[in-house]
Amino acid sequence: QQFVPTPCKDMEGSCSLYCEGVCYQTVNFAVPNAFAYDDMILEVTNTDTGGVAEFPGYFESKTTIKNNDIVEDKYENFVYARRRFYSPILPVGNYEMVFKMNGSPHWPQMVEQIWEDPPECSPHIDETTTTFITPSPTEEECAQLIRNGGGEDGTHNYWMHSGGGIQVVEGGYAGSYAISSVSRVGAWQGPGQFLDTRCLTEGAQYEIMMKFKLVDLGGNELNCDINQKNIGAFDVCPRVSMRMRKLLGNKIGDGTEVNYAYPVAETVGPFKPGEWNNIYGVFSVTETMAKSEGVFMFVERARTGANIVIDEVTVQATQIGCNNIIKNGNFEKGDTRFWTHMGTSKIDIAEDGYEGLYSLQTTKRGEFWSGMVQYVNLDCLVEGQTYSVNGMIKLLTEAGGIETCDSNKQWGPDGNSGICPTMAMRIKTGNLTTDEYMGSVVGTWVDGEWNQISGSFVATPNIINADDVCLYFTRYHPSVMMRLDALTMTPIEGRDPNQLINNGDVGIGDVRFFKISGCGTVTTVEGFDVATKSDDLAFKVSGRTHDNCGIKQDIDNNYLEANTLYKIAAKVKLYGPDGVAPFECDPNVITGDKMCPVVTLTAQNHGIKGAYMRRTVASIQGEFTLGAWNTIEGYITFMANEMRAGSLNYVIHGAPANVVMVLDNIVLSKGDEIVAVAR
């Protein structure tokens, strides 16, 4: 009546008015059914006349019979698909519409707008003559998307369910109440809440955190296994999923598109029976989320019949940076967030850290490649950049005893027992899966202690454009349990692409990228440039029981160029078995107890008979000076079989048995110019 210039008449027997000569059109606004919206109205303003009308919402509250009494049907009234409707019926004109609560603009988490079929009369309103106002969210509203995160107002206000009902219960984690499902009969059922769609802008990141318990119908607390991924399993733990609904038009019958995202958060270990446990996850808002009219976040995937009780629920704005691409690599949060497992295995937190209190452990391994996994955030990688990956590991038996390995042995040629773990990346694109082995134990393994594992990789187009890439540990016996701590993945700054040896001047400060060849141990001592750089270091290779023992490094033959001259060089000092008395070698002899060190290339195509080749490519230049730094040098062009070899190694060895070799400034570079050593 407010928008009609002439009086309207009551229609007998109804609550309607008849306005002669006026053409009406209806538009519907659907919002979630939360208690808070009982007092929310849709304010409609005719911008031509300034007239204002308020339209209350309506909801068909359903009832059921329980114990011969008619009671509210909480299942039907609060299932996520039900809506509260606002349906202004308006004559022709220009209008603005906005939801208000207590006189101020308000946003009910999500809104779906649907026009009724147009009337036969004209003229009438349509989307060109109406403006629906979405109030801009405040910083506070988008900082925390969950409303009533623990039922602390004594109700389940804002909470709905994907099946199984919803209720508020006493005995929360930090307060008086918590939110609980009711009578779940399907794994997909659980409590949920619509998220504020205004805040879900593409690329925004949010962190999901909550406490939870599993309770049976008798009130007894239940256990679950964080490693169980089968949705129908009896011991599966809850996870968080999202249901996104997009209208394909704004008229009745235009249809909808429904998408799901899961998991966006999962139960993290350790799971402690009888206590409140943790669900954690981080998600980035996708284009699909950002374009949806409604995004319903819900907790699901516990055994049928178990009630999911949640408290302290937050979905807060965050920013996951790339300073360290590995997330939760030091485990000082005390849980397994960002980590999962592959193959037959379990992961959990151990109260045994390298630098702090905790580490991640993998147990119950069924395959040599199974165990802990982290998926790499590919947005943090830059194509062509080289990355260093470093961590500390410890090996134990399943019973918790000390396990050993030999860092000089290789998986396959030396069997599969007593082999140290290899660090690897699994790259998946469509149906294609490839593995890149890129890290190994540094130096000599020390039983019962934390040992360093280190490697590097180049972010190739295959990695950058992959569907997903994960870091994992492989090639060690399935009976061995591993603990991991202090894992990092960072770019190697200033690496020259023409320098094929990593850490040749020990610039990193340890022996990473180099491994023992044959026998012995490798540590660090003062280096060649100590006079100009007080912290300069060199490699000390001792405990050599044969002249073939030394150190080696893998060469990435993807970077070798055909018909190109390469220079090989290193600085060397020699000492007797005590490591103190200088030792003198003779560059002119090739056997016996006066041999000098040499550099050898070894090329191997595994599994092909006769595919192993080795050749000496560099030796001492000039006379050997006792007690001084001497130069190993040589020039080579790589052969075709070396350039396509499955493994290609740069080995420094050849001094007599028990002689200590001290090596520095190890180089493999193009031509006459030796470029800056990579760090």
Instruction: Report DSSP letters for 557-575, one per residue.
Output: GGG--TT-EEEEEEEEEEE
Question: Rounded to an integer, what is the distance from CA 345 to the centroid of its chain?
Answer: 19
pLDDT at residue 406 in the model: 93
**172-223: pLDDT as tens digits:** 998 899 999 998 999 999 999 999 999 999 989 999 999 999 999 888 999 9
Give the architecture (CATH level 2) of 340-491: Sandwich (2.60)
Give me 352's structure tokens: 């045994």
Domains 340-491 and 515-670 share a fold: yes
Note the pLDDT of residue 497. Answer: 56
Q: In whole angstroms, give the CA distance from residue 381 to residue 425.
A: 14
Residue 674: the pLDDT is 40
74: phi then psi, degrees, rounded to nearest 5: -70, -25
Q: How far apart are alpha carbons 141 and 126 in whole angstroms?
A: 31
How far, in Å, CA of 437 to CA of 456, rounded? 9
Helix (H) or strand (E) holding 225: none
Q: CATH says 515-670 is which class?
A: mainly beta
Cα 89 to Cα 96: distance, rounded to the nearest angstrom: 13
Instruction: Enumerate residue ranges in the chain where pLDDT < 50.
Output: 607, 609, 673-679
Q: DSSP states of 26-69 as a string?
A: EEEEEE---GGGGG-EEEEEETTT--EEEEE-B----EEEETTE
The string of pLDDT tens digits covering residues 569-611 is 999 999 999 999 999 999 999 989 999 999 999 887 654 545 5
DSSP 8-state secondary structure symbol assigned to residue 13? T
Phi, psi of 639 (to 5 degrees): -80, 160
Architecture of domain 139-318: Sandwich (2.60)
Question: What is the 3 state secondary structure string of 267-333?
Answer: EECCCCCCCCEEEEEEEECCHHHHCCCEEEEEEECCCCCCEEEEEEEEEEEECCCCCCCCCCCCCCC
Task: Give me 149's structure tokens.
Answer: 């995160």
pLDDT at 512: 82
Q: For residue 496, what pLDDT is reported?
A: 56
pTM, 2 dp: 0.80
CA angle 450-455-457, nearest 5°?
Answer: 155
**Domain ranges across the chain:** 9-132, 139-318, 340-491, 515-670
Alpha-carbon distance of 544 to 430, in angstroms, equals 48
d(CA 653, CA 131): 80
Residue 603's SS3 state is strand
d(CA 463, CA 447): 35
Q: H-helix or E-strand containing 288?
A: helix 287-290
* pLDDT value, residue 194: 98
Per-residue pLDDT at 243 = 98
CA distance 404 to 361: 16
| pLDDT (tens digit per residue) in 116-149 | 999 999 999 999 999 999 999 999 999 999 999 9
12: which DSSP letter? Answer: T
